[in-house]
A and B are shown apart, each in its own frame.
Chain A
């Protein structure tokens, strides 16, 4: 399916094709580089991200993994001085091409952050806020319920939708943030350390949820927790900080099936990192 990110909000495609077995590339990333002023954050990243899979991005602090996923929905646009080079094709469309609406990009490619960040509003309003902003006002209650159900939160909150989102536990707040991202019917969900601030039980709930969500969505998760990557991801990308030629930059070292990365990685640097012999 080709998604027209240049289409105005009112004409966007809302239907998604059902799960298909054939590999379908959602992101085709070619020689992606990111720099902040004189600092290179990422260099020469080439990878393809497949539909309906969980792709994990792992690597040491400062290797550019968060910078990387923030490129995927142009979240880095909001940081001043960022220059993105190379090509980032989303269903064949250059995300950084002229005429592309970054707001529409972020609707199709949602994001969940490390710390749950619900608005200080009711549970219902948290989910419906973006819907109203985007003009998706028909069947608002139905959309809110569907989003909360998909985020496995509905049963816990259905009787108190009017209560403040801040009354929820940390794990519930994070699932609310996922519901908020799902409400606008994206195709891709980016998760930047979504469970690092949560206890093990809430973490397990998020991981189970990811497993459910990949039937309908494409998920990309950045995680410090390698066992989490091993548990949830179909494919894993290992980024590392490359310090050659006097320049420090994040590079993609290895990208493969998760089981390969955690049983017999091809690159010694991956081996050293996943076995804990790094740094």
Chain B
């Protein structure tokens, strides 16, 4: 019975890694659509969310069934609880990619600002790197790597603040104001996405140490 149980745990964890691959594809699609002003690609990202949702749901059901039948304890219990959280974070991250794609479509007729697009691309690239670090930390039970996400997140936060300053310099024309509004929300989505990755890192540390703790205070005074 315990052998089956271990196989089930392994299968669920593998599904979680697959889900993170789907989120990475979604994020890459959203970033490319944004850079290329590609409305069709943006639509594909929006439609792709169904696949992430399906993966989210089957993981949720798999965990529910495992809890009902196997009553995991200790490290197994912590893994199951961590997977529940990580699953939800990944699903939310994919939703943020959808929001970015919807905003991309809304801004499609507006003249993009090269520096702003570069900053968003930088934030997205850092978020992708963070997802890889977090999921590898989970797979390898590496608390140090999980904690390093805080520093990576700080770079995303800084880029977000830089972008806000840049938007304020865009000028007062109606198009620029609308463009500024759209990109600020996109930037906010990327910043939130990175925060979700930090939360995944917290779950990795909980899994390894049994200690539930936030890496950084959400009400940090520097955060805009």
Contact = CB atoms under 8 A, between A and B. Distances in A.
Contact of A274 (B5, B73, B78, B209): B73
A227 interface: yes
Interface string B180-224: 000000000000000000000000000001110000000000000
A276 B76 CA distance: 10
Interface string A258-273: 0001111100001100
Given A275-B76, A276-B5, A264 B71 contact: no
A275 B71 contact: no
Contacts, number: 34
A276 B2 contact: yes
Contacts of B75: 264, 271, 275
B71 A263 contact: no
B68 interface: no
B72 interface: yes
B74 interface: yes
* From A226, A227, A263, A276, residue with most partner B Cβ within 10 Å: A276
Nearest to B5: A276
What DSSP secondary structure best describes chain A's contact surface? Answer: helix
Report, as a range, how many residues of chain A touch the other chain: 10 to 19
A230 interface: yes
Nearest to B210: A264
A142 B5 CA distance: 52
Interface of B: 1-2, 5, 71-78, 209-211
Interface of A: 226-227, 230, 261-265, 270-271, 274-277
Given A264-B78, A264-B211, A271-B74, 12 more contacts: A230-B73, A261-B74, A262-B73, A262-B74, A263-B73, A264-B75, A264-B210, A270-B74, A271-B75, A275-B2, A275-B74, A275-B75
